[in-house]
Structure formats: C-alpha cells, structure tokens
Amino acid sequence: MTTPATAIAPGLTVRGFTPPLRLSDFKLIAFDMDSTLINIECVDEIADAVGRKAEVAAITEAAMRGEITDFKDSLRRRVALLKGVTMADMERVYVERLRLNPGAAELVRACKTVGMKVLLVSGGFTFFAHRVRDTLGIDFVRANILEVASGPNCGELTGRLVEQAWGDICDGAEKRRTLLEVASLLDIAPHECIAMGDGANDLPMMGAAGLSVAYHAKPKVREQAMVSIESGGLDRLLELMR
C-alpha cells in the first residue's frame, strides 16, 4: 500500500517522514541527468538532427513512464536511429538546447557546502554528462558512450554504444549499483544518500537511498518517491532541510 502524501507547500509533497531534515546528515547525492539536472532528453534532441525526433521521443516517453520495461533494449533502439549524426550536430544540441534546470547549481552548491559528494548517474551520454560535471563541479559520473566512426564516416555516430569496464548501458540496475558502489567506496551508508530522478529507470537507485526525490517526474515515480517536486526548481528540496 502506498504511503499517503502530505502537501508541504504548493507543488511540494512528502511521504513517509516529517520535515525538516538536516542536509548535513546526508553524505552523497545522486542525480539523474536528462530532465532532472538538465532541461532536455538528449537522445531526443540528437535525433532531431536526422529527422527522427518523433520516433525516438515516443520510445523515450514510454521508457520513462515505465511502459517499456527493458530500458537497455529501448536505448539500443533509439541509439541505432542516431546513425549518421555528426559531432557538429551534437555540439549544436549542447549549445542551443541544453540548459541546467532551475535550482541545479544552487542545490549542488548547498550539498557541497555541508561536505556532501555529488554523483551524476545517467542513461544518457558522456558527451553531455562530462560537460554538466565540469559546469557544476560534480565529483563522479557514470553515463553511456556513443560510438563515433573512423574512416570514411569519421566524426559520425555509428548507432552503437561503446562497451565500458562496467558494461555498455547504464540502466536502472546499473544506476542503483553505481550509487551503492560509490557510497561503499566512500564509507557512506545507503541511508546517508539522496537520489533524485524523474523516470522509471531512476526508481532502483531511488529505492536504495535514504531519501528519494522525484523532480517533475512521471506518475509512477511521483507515487513512490519520499519527496515530489512538482513545481519550481531542484533547490526546492532545501525547503525541507535545516
């Protein structure tokens, strides 16, 4: 049975605890990237460069709502549709479309001020995640690498992902594993972690953390999160802290 939610303020609800909490009681915060830390779903915007945004966005939406349960398969299907996208196209997405969501910098700064470490764990791509890391001063990143062709099609996406030491796709299970791995390496207990996301693939890591936060999230995610931010910026989490 779902725990009843309590409205603390317009667009801000909690379940399972009574605020305020102390931010300094937490030691690690993990963020999803697309539609959480940033304003876009990068894969959808990249697809726009080859006229396939509608097709890719439909798969993304179904995956984020939890209607497609195999995230890895859904991402491989979407990435395959990116074949032929150039690095110049990727750069335009970053420059022209990608923006930090409101309150992102403020929340990260507040967390770092009390000594917390910051993790970005994304089903998106390192091309964007590493830049977001550098902009916000994030400590750790795990994301997927898009394969880029050499030879005649040099500089174009192949429609495949690059295998990394941990695997090729950061799905929900990998997000959870990464959160717990980083926490363990830093001698941080799961209950000292915060996890923030918006889609169904964020639920595993949110379920492993001491505090789960849904940000402008899909219904399934809002219903399971301890905090749901439905209006305003990411820094509304600080309204629950002292």
Residues carrying an active site annotation? 32, 34
Other C-beta atoms closer than 10 Å to the C-beta of 150 total: 10
Tokens 């967390």, residue located = 111
User: How many CB atoms are located within 10 Å of the residue 167 CB?
Assistant: 15
Residues in the chain, how many?
242
Buried b (16+ CB within 10 A) or exposed e, 95-120: eeebebbebbbebbebbbeeebbbbb
Alpha-carbon span 178 to 180, nearest angstrom: 5
Please give the angle made by the CA atoms of 153, 159 and 160, to the nearest 5 degrees: 110
